[in-house]
Structure formats: structure tokens, C-alpha cells
Structure 1
Amino acid sequence: MPNVQLPPKESNLFKRILKCYEQKQYKNGLKFCKMILSNPKFAEHGETLAMKGLTLNCLGKKEEAYEFVRKGLRNDVKSHVCWHVYGLLQRSHKKYDEAIKCYRNALKLDKDNLQILRDLSLLQIQMRDLEGYRETRYQLLQLRPTQRASWIGYAIAYHLLKDYDMALKLLEEFRQTQQVPPNKIDYEYSELILYQNQVMREADLFQESLEHIETYERQICDKLLVEEIKGEKFRDLIDKFLRVNFSKGCPPLFTTLKSLYYNTEKHIGNLKEAAKWMDEAQSLDTADRFINSKCAKYMLRANMIKEAEEMCSKFTREGTSAMENLNEMQCMWFQTECISAYQRLGRYGDALKKCHEVERHFFEITDDQFDFHTYCMRKMTLRAYVDLLRLEDTLRRHAFYFKAARSAIEIYLKLYDDPLTNESQQQEINSENLSAKELKKMLSKQRRAQKKAKLEEEKKHAERERQQKSQKKKRDEEEEEASGLKEELRPEKLERIENPLEEAIKFLIPLKNLVADNIDTHLLAFEIYFRKGKFLLMLQSVKRAFAINSNNPWLHECLIKFSKSVSNQSNLPDIVSQVLSQEMQKIFVNKDLESFNEDFLKRNATSLQHLLSGAKMMYFLDKSRQEKAIAVATRLDETIKDKNVKTLVKVSEALLDGSFGICNSQYEEYRMACHHLLPFTSAFLPAVNEVHSHSAALNHTSNYDVLANEM
């Protein structure tokens, strides 16, 4: 029923539908929809059907919503309302590209519709279509030249496109329209002045910026920022402030200055003892959340996950587990430390669950910016708004995401190399070597374990249901139905994923886009592509890593594995072989792999990290040189510069993980040497007499500071 003009009665009802939608009175809106659609003349009225669908969507009825909106659009494809509604529906389900198409179709039918233009501009800035955003803001400025948001939005578009001259011209033209007396302090006018000044500084107009700030200084509310913008006075004040607090011994200054503390030797690697003393510290003031968190972090570093959760539970919400509450609060320092602890313990499913929880946090943070596009321009918090947009653009550069992504990739690589067997496969493997009596006993034991696990799972499930019901009461029922429930992250399912490399790539892509200046990004990429047999992508990865640090020990391993793999290939296309040969020649400079490796070892004779990588490759290239390779990797003489806990532990792990084949006796010799060098480090304590040796060592050095990795 295209282009049907509703009579006055139905037209008023339709206006009430729109008002109900705006005021979130969805049930009333559906009543008015029914009143129009129950009339046989208007039973197929496209715009009413579309609005009914949009209202149903707000009540969580997604499938019905799409059905009614699409039906409405089919019935009135020339209606800008139907296209606009379809765009709003797509937007609500995060289908931003599709929503933009709908808005553009709506504008073809009503090119000067303000609301559609505003909605389009919001999606364009959300998707960072800055050219399109500038165009739309220009249309809004032409239609509403007296509105503040029209000028500000258009100026921001030029600012983000780095056309500073045009942005400053627009801001100044708008500023001159503001009737603010020179002696009056107005917050929004102050923010406009400071935003202008920020654009000037970004345009390298430093002298103009200084003159500008001095001209309008009396009208600026943020006096501290004025002083910061001016270079020397602020530094003098900070210097005096620090000196006074140093003399007083003010503890909070540590958090400000700890980044300057880089001496890793006072860190001797006894994390359990460090956690013990931090627990003692927090017990002296149980109301101090900082020490509580610090203690929990030390516990996680010592793989004491349960104890860390109990420690945090002192400050989490009652009636729900601390782990769940910390996830709800997006407490990512705790989650990233959990990831590392689970990874060290080999609990890969639990680690991956935490990785995906962190990924969900970053997705939500990206999505939550949508609400600020209109709010910030309305409230004139322009500097903060631009900072937010820039933060969102580089969000996944954040250390928390990098830690989670790196661990996820490492675990997926591990699961690809050594997949976990399921219970039935493991049972078959075990049963092959057992007698009938032993098999019967084993099966009985497994049944009891399965029964116990099932009871525990049912108990956990019941607890989750109870928690979900409790949380559901606190939320608005309609909003929760509309948002839907997220897929549950199950550790046992995550660690037995069918395509671990594809899952690893999902975590890698943001790192390649945003953390390209970190060599580990490209080396992780190489490890994935190496397993997928993607030679050109391997080449791309090592070239990018080589450009950052050609002497990186991990890169050295990747280069040799890559070159060896290329030489073993006989079925590569000619053009690919030619490209690989040319590029690898630039790196290896006509040297064979053994010579390349020997040069690397000579160049880095005082670095244990480099010696370890070179020794690994020595054994990789020639298994007969095991003794020589182990001797190189386990050097502890006085010329070695990096004999710290982290590096020594890496060497001991390499002796156990097969990097040098079977070498149990050599490992024990190395462990004893490291124990002599670092007697407090738990990783090198004798397995049997660990507690006794540890206690004896502590008795000899009662005043020795036990330090662990800092927060």
C-alpha cells in the first residue's frame, strides 16, 4: 500500500506511536499500531508495520521485528520512514554498514530530513568514515546554521581529517557568535576556547597558541591546564611538590615514580614467599583495597588462583562469585594475571575463557562510544570527545588487550601442535596397555570421577542460574530481553576447538593493525603462518620484524626455521620461489644457515637470551651437536650480562621441553648451578627438599628483601 496518506484520526495515532517509541512506552505504542492496522483499509500500511517492528525489537522480539519492518518496507518502498526504521533496526543489532545503506536510501527520498542526517552522522563517526561525516555535517550546518552542534560537528570533522586551518576558521567564526562578556566565566565557552587551543597546538602553531591562551585566560575555568600549556611554571611547581613529599616520605608517590625503577636484580623469583609477606601486609589493614589488590596480584604470579579470588572477594559484591563480579566490573588486571597463571598451570581452557572475556570487554568499550557522539557536542566537552575518538581508534593497542591476545595466540599454537585428546580417545589409548583386571579398575575409577564431575557441574550450573536470576531482577526486564544473552564460554569446549589457528588469527588481526611497532606482533604472526604453510605471509612477517630489530633472538629462530622450510619445498610456484629467494638473500647475505647461526652466536656472546636461541638453532640444524648446543645455552660465566631469573628459567624450560632433545642429566646440573647462583628462586629449588632448603636459606638472611615482579 505505497504512498497512502492516513486520514486525521489514524495520522494522530501514528504520531502517538512515534512519541511512545521516543519515550520508551513500547506497550502503548503497540496498542496504537493495532488500532491502525485493525482497520481493513490500513492493514498493510507500510510505515505503521515498520514502526510496529521497531517497537517489537525494543521488547526483545528480534525475529518478529525484522518480519514486520521488512514487510512494511515492501509495502511502501518509497517511504523514507520505512528506510529510516530499517536502518534503526540494523543499527540496534550492530550492523552499522547495513544501517548506513538504509539511511542513504531514506535520504534519497527526503534529502533534508534532519533526524536521518543526524543518525547517519553518528554511524559515520562510529565507523570512522571521516569524509562521509564531514559531508553530512556540512548538510546539517546548511539546514541549521544557528545551532551550535552544526558548527561544532563540522569543525570536528575537519580537525579529525587534520585540516587544522579549516577547523580553526570554523571554530573562530562560531566563537564570535557567542555573546559572553569578557569578565564572565562560562564553562562551555571555556571548553570551546581550550578546544581551539588544542587544535592550534596540534597544528604546531605554538606561538599563536600561547598568545591565544593569554588573551582568553580570564575566561578559562581549567586554571591548571592553562599553566600546563605555558612549559616552565608548571614544572617548577611539580618539582617543589615532589621535593616536599619526598622529605615527608609520602607513600602514594611510589605509584607516580615506580616507572623509573627498572633494576630487576633486587627481583629474585621467589613469588610464593613474596605473596606470603604481601598477605601479611594486607592483614594489617584489611580495609585497604590497594594492598588487597596488590596481594591478589602476587598470589596470581605465584599461581595461587583460588587464594587470589578469595582475597578479592573481600571487596566484591555479595551473592556472586568474585571471579564473575570481577568480570562484570571489567577488572582486566586481574583477568590478564589469571590468564598467565592458568597458562603456566596448563589449564588452557580456563586461560582461553579469560582471553575471550577480555576481548568482550574491548568490544563493549568500542560499542559504548556510540552514546557520546551526541552527548559530548551537546555538553561542549570537545577536547575529551576528540581524545575519546582517538583512544577508541587505537583501543586494542592497550597492554591488557596485547597480553590477552598474545596468550590466546600462544595457547592456540600449543593446542595446534599438541591437541588435547577427548575422554574416549584417551580411554582407548590407555586400555591398549592394560590387563583385564586393571582395565576394569580404571573404568570403575573413571565412572566415579565422571559422576563426581557431573555433580559438581550440576552444582555450578544451579549456582549460575541462581546468580542470573538475581541479576535479572536488578535490570530492566525489557532491556535485558532486547540485549539477549551472550554465548557461555566453556573452558572444556574452548581448549578442544577444531580450528585453533583460525581462532589465533582473530586475536592477531587487531595487533597487526594497531601494534605493528612491536616485534612480537610479527613473530606471533610468523608462528601462525608457519603452521599454515603461508610462505608469502611468513616472509611479510619476518621482514617487518627484521625492520624493527634485526638482532632479536626469537626472530633469529624464525628466520632459520623459515629458510629451512623454504629449502624443503619443491612444489612452490616459480614466482613465489623467486620472491622468497631474492628477499631471503638480502637477510642471509649468501651465507648458509650454519654460518649465519655461528655469526649470530659470536655477535651476541655476552647475552644469554641470544645464546639460547642460537643454541636451539644449532641443535635444530644438526642433532649430532647436542652437547655443544647445551654447553652454549647453559653458560653462566662472568661475561654473561643477563643472568636474571626470567632468562635463567627460560633456559631451564628449554632443557625440559625438547628443544635440545632428551637431556635430563644436563638439566639437573644446570638447575643446581642456578640454585647456587640464586638460592632464593623457587624454580631452582630441589624438588624433594624444597621447603627445608627454602627455610634454611631464609634463616641465613633475615634482613634480605624478598621482592617479586611489581604491578
Structure 2
Amino acid sequence: MLSRTSNRSSTKRVRPRSANVRIRTDRMSPGLKAADQILKKNPNHGDTEAMKALILNSLGQTEEAFALAKTALKDDMKSHVCWHVYGILWRSVKNNEEAIKAYRFALKLEPDSPQVLRDLALLQIQTRDYQGYIQSRNLMLQQRSSLRLNWTALAIAHHLAEDFKSAENVLNTYEGTLKHTPSKGDIEHAEAVLYKNMIIAESGDVQRALEHLDTIYQTSPDRTAVMELRAKYLLQLDKKEEAEKAYRALLDRNAEYRAYYEGLEKALGLDKSQKQELKELYASYANKNDRIDAARRIPLDFLEGEDFKEAADSYLRAKLHKGVPSTFNNVKSLYADASKLKTIEGLVEGYQSEGVANGDATGATTKKDSFHETTLYFLAQHYNYKLSRDLKKAMQYVDKLIELSPKTYDYHMTKARVLKHSGNISEASKAMSHARELDIKDRYINTKCAKYQLRNDENADALATMSKFTRNEVVGGTLGDLTDMQSLWYLTEDGEAYARRSEYGLALKRFHTVFDIFDVWQEDQFDFHSFSLRKGQIRAYVDTLRWEDRLRSHPFYKRIAVDAIKVYLALHDRPILSQETATNGVDPTDAKAIKKAKKEAERREREDAERREAERKAAAAKKANATADGETKKPDEDPNGKKLRETKEPLAVATRFLAPLLEFGAADLEVQHLGFEVYLRKGKFFLALKSLLAAFTIAPEDPTAHAQAVRFRQACKPLDENKAVLDLASSSLPAPFNDAKADLASHNEAFVKQHADSPRHVYNYARALKALDPSSSQGQKTILEVPDRCKDVNLAQGLEGIALLRELGSEKASIQAFAKKLQDKWPAATILEREASR
């Protein structure tokens, strides 16, 4: 920021630091002393008050900083320094809108301030205000037109605003100012040239993009990128002969990249029906080198019948003789075709039954051939896979493997997976723990062990397992380090384990922690707005911004959001669950159990407090409570999530999790079901109907949508005067839900009769019946018959039935009887007994 002299003092204005620059706390004390000395002589000096506010904010005294900044503005309303600092304070609390307003006001007072302009531009791209960003970058370019990054940044602004012509013109104008041709080693120039090519292509002018690419073909250091783009453009322009040459050149460089083969197929005009031509094409590459895998694996996708069997036999034998443990993972995608599944199963079973451990196709043997053992390992994985599952056979093969090689941890890990799929979670956890003990230095096995322990609700043991590879001296111990390392999988699994036990406080704590990590990722892009421009990594920067725009479409966000919404719905439906005693599986009507649970909760809180105090002292002794830049970590005021659990507005918090899901998961059936559940409870019938209609569009025959439609109609009955909602429902919903006078009870009975052998349909029949007649127990009786009437009920559907019976208020004896029937179908599934006894 440019300094100028105050009207009331000769003290020079000090440049405030930008919001993205951290100030070391060990330098704060002299700064405060200096500010206090100035204010002693000039009590109303606004600039000094503003700088003191900035220091206080860096020390964590945010409220005092804001109060002092407002005082500074009152003392010197026309100081651009005060307004700049005020914007930085708003930026520090992530209120970007207020920060932008303050920066704009500072610019009105000091239009030539480069620091204010820079901070404003960074916030504008952070909030995706492209038009404002263009204006700011134009001004910055006018101030310093000699800097290449200012030209590039303006081009990016136009590009992201989809003004491709202006973006290209900016880059052309800068290139016209160059007095000398950049050298081949100028990486920044080479990247900018490729970025311009990207702009031309995205504008839709592929021919010109190709012509431009040809001019830089010999000079660009990123030869692979140029060759890939050229092949892509030629294919888009239907120049197939040239495209064929381009893709063959790429395959000469890398014959294992599937996308190159796909491009070559298109260039040759081949489709999957031309099997002989495709077979010859891939054979030509396979014959070039015995080590090329892709040319042998890809034909398995399109070959059929005897051709497939011959190719699969050759491929599998070669891999199994070499002892490649990932052979099954390489071919399991073929199992979507039932005929190929049977062919592979027959081939590998044949290898196993040949009785020649070291044999090959001709019966020859080699001493160190692991063919037999690798074949057994393949079969164990094969019968454990969901599309070819036979857990009894899988266990037999695993036991043979362990007998052959008892210290091979891969076999014990496979045994753990088989046990998990059979429902024996406790034994699966033990098996995975044994696998970990066979190689205690392997981080992957350690992680899998912790995951299985969490699935078995062994949270403390899982944390101890993870502690073997974490920094345990930091504040918060192992869990604190896992949070700092943003270990999404652990926090998610940990939260789900607590949610299963109805310990909603800790569950919500974990889910909110993951939610905050996504906020951190969103915030972290702020540093790249300057960094990427300085380093000239333009294409990667644009890709990063586009990835950030869809950040919450990440699978882990959906997972924790769905879990958190379900918890908040439970807290809304049964407010008593927000109490500590109720969230630990205690019957709220049992006074003795409540008293005992309270004592247990007090003991746990006391132990937690003692543990945190010990960790605090240890961290202070080792100076582990400070980051590399001197910032001190704040203690967690709600480590057990008590405040989260006791929220008075669970639906409002649930909506925070739901909004990104609906934005990025419009075609996701589960998301639309959750949207309906939240909005129906909030009384927002238009939004509930919108989610319901989306669900019917995605899956017209979905049983959950049936139950929700019944519930929607029942909820709308008191709203006869709300004509708009009823008219929309009548014109949009499928029959009979479009008729307000339809006999939904009869339709529900017809629905369950039509789908009597489907557990999901039966469960949703019961949900609909509960909405139609809350006093009826017929729905629960029908659920209890599911193990008898539904032959193909699987373990997951059985667990869903147990949860639904509990939700509908069934007696514990009935739930256990239901679990017992399922146990007869799944004798090893100890998880059924565990869930029924909760």
C-alpha cells in the first residue's frame, strides 16, 4: 500500500499485511508496544489503531481487533489504510462479502494502491466474481504492464468468464510486446503458449487450435501434451489418417495407456462389433513385446465365445505363472458379463484341478513357478467377489493358502474380507489384526486393521493401531494428528461407528470435522491464486479452480453428509436422543439405567479432561502446540460433540449438509430421498415435492419413492387451502398420487402383494402403512415375515429390517426373533445378533 502523510500527524502510514500472509506471534509484542507509544502521543491516529487491530487479530483477539478497527474508522473515515485493515479482518473470519466492500471503499480513497487492488482481485477470484476480477486485473495490468503474470491473470479472468476471444487477444498482445523470441528453456512461456491453445480449443475452433499447435510442435518442452492434443484435434476434425499416425506415435512412446488404444480404434473407424479387425490390431502390438500388458488385456473386453476363452486362457496363465497377485483385480471388471464370469471361473478351476503345481499349458514344469499358489489366491478372491460370491468356497481356498504359506499377510487379509462379507465382523477384525502383526512396518496393513476395528465398533483399539504411524505428542494426540493430516477415511469410519452405537455427540463431532476439512480445502485455493501465476503453472491452476467448483461432489463429502443428516433427522424426530443417557442405548424410561449412564458419562468426561490436560502439558514441554509459522493451536471446547448433539435446530444444521448434495447430486436417488425427508419435516412442501418428483424421474419404480409419496399426500391433507402445492402435485406426480382423493391404503396393499418377495418393497410398504394408520401394527408383522417370504434376502437387507423394526417401535423380543430367522440363512453373521441387541 502506498504511504502518505496524515493530516493530523507526521506519522507515516504503515502498510498492512494481506489477509493471506501470516505474522509470527513472537514479533507481536514489539509491534503492540510501538503502536501503544504512537497512540500515547496521538490517541486518535486511525492508521496506528488499524495496525494495532491487525496485530490483535493475529494474536487471536478477534473481537478486540474489530472493535479497535471500527474506532479507527470513526477517527479517520477517509483513510484507505483503515478500510484496508477492516477488509483484512473480515477476510480473516471468512466473510468475503464484507471484505470486498471494505476493499472497494479503500480503493475509492486510494485508487492506485497495488496492495488493496491485489487483495480485492484475490477475493474476487475466490468468490468467482469473474466480471469484478476482470476489472481489477485490468487496473493491475495498467499499473505494471511489464509483468507477464498480470497479462496471464487477465487472460484467465476472461477465459473463466467464457470470453475466449478477449482471453486470446490478451495473450497475443503480450506476445507482440516481446522483443526477443523466448528460448526453448523458458518454461513459463511454453506453458502460456499451451494455455492459449487450450483457450482456442475451448472456444470451439478446433481447426485453428490444431494449426496453432503445429507452430509450437518443435519448440514445446511438453512434447507428450502436444502430441496428445494434436491426436485429439485430428480425431475431432475427422482427419482419421493423420490421427492414426498420431496415436501410433503415442503408442510407440507408451504402449500401456488405454486411452491411446481407444483413440486409435476411432481413427481406424473400428467399433466393438468388428471383433476380428480389433483382435488383429491388438495382436500387432502384443507381438512387439512380451511385456506389454494392455494389448493383451483390452481384447478381453470385446472378445466373445471361443475367442474370449482362448485369449483369457493365455492371459491368465501368463499372469498366474508369474505370480502376479493383482491378476484378479485386472479381470474382475469382466464379471459384469455373466458368460465371461463363467468362462474365467471354469478356466481357473481347471488350472487348480490339473494337479500340477508348476505346470503350464503344455505340462512343462519349472522349479520356482508359483502357479498353484497364485491360482488358489485368484479363486479365493473370485468367490469372495460380489458377482461370483460363494463364501464357503472362498474360505476353503483361503485356508489352503494359509496352510501353504502361513506368514503371507495377503492371505490373512483375504480371510478377513471373507469373514467380513459373511457378517462375522469380530472375527474379521481379529484376522486383519493378525495380518498386521505379520508385517508391523507396513502402513497399508495397519490402516486396514484400524478400518476393520472401527467396523467392529472398536474405536479405542483402532486409535491405538493408528498411533503406530502418527505423531502422538501433538495436541490432541493420535486423533489430533489424524485430523491435522485430514485423514478423511478414519474420521468418517470413526463417526459411523459412534453413530451405530447412538453416541451421536461423538459421531457428529467427526462428521463436522470432515465438513470443516472440505471448507479448508475450499479456503486453501486462496494461496494458489498468486502462487500459480508466479510459477507459470496456468493449465494446472485452471484445472484446480474447476475441481474446486465441484469440491463437494467428492464421495467422502456425500458419505459424511448422508450420515450427519440421518443423525439430525433422528434428533429431530426424537428430541430425547439429544440427552447423554439416551444416546448410549439406554431406555429413557429406566431410572436405574439412566442413573448408571449418567455416572458413566461423568466418569468419561472426567477422564477426557485429565487426558487433555496431560496432552496439553506434554505438548507445551515439547513445543508441539505451535505450527511452523508460530501460530498456536486453539483448544477444542467441545471434544465430545455435546453442543452439536444438543442443538435446538437439527433440521437447520442438516440443511447445511444437504445443500451441496442437492447441488451436485441432482441425479442421485439417495440424495433426493434425503432432501424429501428434511424438507417435509421443515414444512417446505414445494421443496419436498421437488425432491420427490426428482426421485420418480430417476427411478419410477423405486419403493422408497412410493412410501414418500404416501407420506407426502398424508402431510398435505391439512393443506387443502394451499392450492398451489396441491395443483403441482396433481399435475406432476404419477398415479394414483396425483389424485388427492385416491384410496392410498388399497394401493399400498396392492403394492406389497405385487412385490411380496422383495425386502425393500416390504419395508417401504410398512413405512407407508405407518403414515396411513399410525396405530396399525400390520407393517411390523409383515416385516417379521421377510426372512420366510423373501428367499433372496441378503445381509444388508436384513440389517435394514432390524433398523426399521426398531424405528417403528417393535419390541426387543420381536427384533431378536427376526434376527434369529436371518441367522439361520447367515449362520456366521454375528453382526445380526449385535444389531438386534442394541
Q: TM-score, normalization: structure 2?
A: 0.70
Q: Which residue of 1 aligns with 2:371?
A: none
1:161 is the counterpart of 2:155: no
Q: Using the TM superposition, name which of 119-128 and 362-371 deviates more.
A: 362-371
The gaps in structure 1 that reach 5 residues or longer are 689-711
Of the candidates 461, 465, 474, which is equivalent to residue 307 of structure 1?
461
1:387 Cα deviation after fit: 1.9
1:631 Cα deviation after fit: 7.5
1:609 Cα deviation after fit: 2.4
One-letter identity of the residue aligned with 1:358? V
Q: Distance in 2 between matches of 1:83 and 1:421?
A: 44
1:292 is the counterpart of 2:446: yes
Q: Which residue of 2 aligns with 1:72?
A: 72
**Residue correspondence of structure 1 range 43-58 to structure 2 within 5 A:** 43-58=43-58
Q: Which residue of 1 aligns with 2:689?
A: 539
CA deviation vs aligned residue, 1:69-114 (integer Å, no higher than 9, x gap): 3233222222222222222222223221111111111222222332
1:524 is the counterpart of 2:642: no
**Residue correspondence of structure 1 range 19-30 to structure 2 within 5 A:** 26-30=28-32
Counterpart secondary structure, 2:184: coil
Q: Distance in 2 between matches of 1:149 and 1:673?
A: 70
Counterpart secondary structure, 2:185: coil
1:119 Cα deviation after fit: 1.2
Q: Using the TM superposition, name which of 376-385 and 222-231 deviates more.
A: 222-231
CA distance 1:177–1:677, change in 2 (3 Å): farther
Of the candidates 476, 493, 501, which is equivalent to residue 337 of structure 1?
493
Q: Distance in 2 between matches of 1:430 and 1:545?
A: 36
Counterpart secondary structure, 1:237: coil
**Residue correspondence of structure 1 range 670-685 to structure 2 within 5 A:** 671=819, 673-684=821-832
1:220 Cα deviation after fit: 3.3
1:549 is the counterpart of 2:688: no
1:588 is the counterpart of 2:744: no
Of the candidates 629, 633, 639, which is equivalent to residue 782 of structure 2?
629
Of the candidates 256, 275, 279, which is equivalent to residue 237 of structure 1?
256
Q: Which residue of 1 aligns with 2:220?
A: 220
**Residue correspondence of structure 1 range 256-405 to structure 2 within 5 A:** 263-265=385-387, 266=389, 267-319=421-473, 321-405=477-561
**Residue correspondence of structure 1 range 444-483 to structure 2 within 5 A:** 449=600, 452-453=603-604, 455-466=606-617, 469=620, 473=624, 475=626, 479-480=630-631
CA distance 1:605–1:58, change in 2 (3 Å): same
Answer whether contact 1:511 1:521 (CA < 8 A) is retained: yes
CA distance 1:487–1:376, change in 2 (3 Å): farther
Q: Which residue of 2 aligns with 1:116?
A: 116
Of the candidates 552, 577, 583, which is equivalent to residue 420 of structure 1?
577
Q: Using the TM superposition, name which of 44-53 and 613-622 deviates more.
A: 613-622
1:333 Cα deviation after fit: 0.6
Answer whether contact 2:780 2:805 (CA < 8 A) is retained: no
CA distance 1:171–1:519, change in 2 (3 Å): farther
Q: Which residue of 2 aligns with 1:696?
A: none
Q: Distance in 2 between matches of 1:224 and 1:495?
A: 53
1:676 Cα deviation after fit: 4.1
Q: Which residue of 2 aligns with 1:709?
A: none
Q: Distance in 2 between matches of 1:18 and 1:673?
A: 68
One-letter identity of the residue aligned with 1:588? F
CA distance 1:219–1:583, change in 2 (3 Å): same
CA distance 1:357–1:260, change in 2 (3 Å): farther
CA deviation vs aligned residue, 1:647-686 (integer Å, no higher than 9, x gap): 2332344345437x55956963x54554444333333579
Q: Which residue of 2 aligns with 1:706?
A: none
CA distance 1:555–1:140, change in 2 (3 Å): same
CA distance 1:243–1:284, change in 2 (3 Å): farther
CA deviation vs aligned residue, 1:596-645 (integer Å, no higher than 9, x gap): 4356457756644234323543565463745883487446566x5xx432
The gaps in structure 2 that reach 5 residues or longer are 233-246, 259-291, 298-314, 337-384, 390-420
Answer whether contact 2:472 2:481 (CA < 8 A) is retained: no
CA distance 1:570–1:28, change in 2 (3 Å): closer
CA distance 1:560–1:382, change in 2 (3 Å): same
Answer whether contact 1:409 1:507 (CA < 8 A) is retained: yes
Q: Using the TM superposition, name which of 500-509 and 375-384 deviates more.
A: 500-509
Answer whether contact 1:183 1:218 (CA < 8 A) is retained: no
CA distance 1:260–1:527, change in 2 (3 Å): farther
Q: Distance in 1 between matches of 2:531 and 2:121?
A: 14
Q: Which residue of 1 aligns with 2:237?
A: none
Answer whether contact 2:50 2:82 (CA < 8 A) is retained: yes
CA distance 1:184–1:576, change in 2 (3 Å): closer
Answer whether contact 1:563 1:584 (CA < 8 A) is retained: no
Q: Using the TM superposition, name which of 401-410 and 467-476 deviates more.
A: 467-476
1:475 Cα deviation after fit: 2.0
Q: TM-score, normalization: structure 1?
A: 0.82
1:317 Cα deviation after fit: 1.1
1:47 Cα deviation after fit: 2.5
Q: Distance in 2 between matches of 1:667 and 1:498?
A: 34
CA distance 1:423–1:284, change in 2 (3 Å): closer
Q: Using the TM superposition, name which of 126-135 and 531-540 deviates more.
A: 531-540
1:223 Cα deviation after fit: 4.0
1:354 Cα deviation after fit: 0.4
CA distance 1:433–1:244, change in 2 (3 Å): closer
Q: Distance in 1 between matches of 2:535 and 2:466?
A: 37
1:276 Cα deviation after fit: 2.7
CA deviation vs aligned residue, 1:359-406 (integer Å, no higher than 9, x gap): 111122212221111111111111221122222222122111111111
Of the candidates 792, 795, 804, which is equivalent to residue 654 of structure 1?
804
CA deviation vs aligned residue, 1:289-347 (integer Å, no higher than 9, x gap): 11211222222223232222222111111335322221121100111111221122222
Answer whether contact 2:121 2:136 (CA < 8 A) is retained: yes
Answer whether contact 2:256 2:295 (CA < 8 A) is retained: no
Counterpart secondary structure, 2:638: coil
CA distance 1:177–1:576, change in 2 (3 Å): same
CA distance 1:655–1:484, change in 2 (3 Å): closer
Aligned length: 667
Q: Using the TM superposition, name which of 539-548 and 367-376 deviates more.
A: 539-548
Answer whether contact 1:59 1:479 (CA < 8 A) is retained: no
Answer whether contact 1:300 1:338 (CA < 8 A) is retained: yes
Q: Using the TM superposition, name which of 512-521 and 372-381 deviates more.
A: 512-521
1:49 Cα deviation after fit: 2.9
Q: Distance in 2 between matches of 1:299 and 1:475?
A: 32
One-letter identity of the residue aligned with 2:438? L
1:407 Cα deviation after fit: 0.9
Counterpart secondary structure, 1:287: coil
One-letter identity of the residue aligned with 1:399? P
Answer whether contact 1:343 1:411 (CA < 8 A) is retained: yes
Answer whether contact 2:23 2:58 (CA < 8 A) is retained: no
Q: Which residue of 1 aligns with 2:414?
A: none
Q: Using the TM superposition, name which of 280-289 and 209-218 deviates more.
A: 209-218
Q: Distance in 1 between matches of 2:744 and 2:493?
A: 39
Question: Matched residues, percent identical?
Answer: 35
Q: Which residue of 1 aligns with 2:186?
A: 186
Q: Distance in 2 between matches of 1:99 and 1:181?
A: 42
CA distance 1:448–1:337, change in 2 (3 Å): closer
Counterpart secondary structure, 1:219: coil
Q: Using the TM superposition, name which of 84-93 and 169-178 deviates more.
A: 169-178
Answer whether contact 2:5 2:13 (CA < 8 A) is retained: no
Of the candidates 479, 483, 494, which is equivalent to residue 644 of structure 2?
494
Q: Using the TM superposition, name which of 596-605 and 218-227 deviates more.
A: 596-605
Q: Which residue of 2 aligns with 1:145?
A: 145
Answer whether contact 1:44 1:75 (CA < 8 A) is retained: yes
CA distance 1:613–1:471, change in 2 (3 Å): farther
CA distance 1:495–1:15, change in 2 (3 Å): closer
Counterpart secondary structure, 1:111: coil
Q: Using the TM superposition, name which of 272-281 and 133-142 deviates more.
A: 272-281
Answer whether contact 1:339 1:354 (CA < 8 A) is retained: yes
